[in-house]
Copies of this chain bind each other. A is one copy, B any other.
Amino acid sequence: MSLSHAVLTSLIEKSSSGYDLARRFDKSIGYFWHATHQQIYRELARMEAAGWIESSSAPDAGKTRKREYRVLDAGRAELARWASEPSPPMDLRDEFMVKLRADAALGELDLRGELLRRIALHRERLAHYREIEQHDFLHGKPLSREARIHHMILKKGILYEEGEIAWNGEMLGMLG
């Protein structure tokens, strides 16, 4: 399992509440590892029970229940252990490829509208990633090792979106 490790990583980057983590999982880390807030709260409870993290009422809690989670040494050690072991490559699970194959098997279903929708969506994401890249990584100042790694991860997202746009465009040409 690596949701717990994704949460650990995110918490090392910045101690936070479950709610803040959930929002961060809708951005940055969530671009390649999605999670709902329920999953995150579940993991936080488990990791606290395991002694990987600790929590206390958040500094800015006021009268709310807001808690802040911090990573303990045991958590850091576990993350380092996990990150150093080999992992299987991600497996693709692309519903749309199944649909294309269904189209091929059944005869014409006309998936062109869907292709157009997907192209628009990937273009939008690409534009968003490029904005982040401009702002965070292409400002000319030298980048830390950490920033260079983050840049490479973002570039992977950019390459992925570009690939999707190109391939979907070619597919559209074929079906058109």
Contact = CB atoms under 8 A, between A and B. Distances in A.
Contacts of A46: none
Interface stretch (A52-60, A115-123, A132-140): A115-123
Interface in A1-15: 2, 5-6, 8-9, 12-13
B93 A90 contact: yes
A147 to B, nearest CB: 8
**Within the oligomer, what is the number of copies of this chain?**
2
Interface residues of A, number: 65
Interface of A: 2, 5-6, 8-9, 12-13, 29, 31-34, 76, 79-80, 82-84, 86-106, 109-111, 114, 117-118, 121-122, 145-146, 148-150, 152-153, 155-156, 159-160, 163-164, 166-167, 170-171, 174
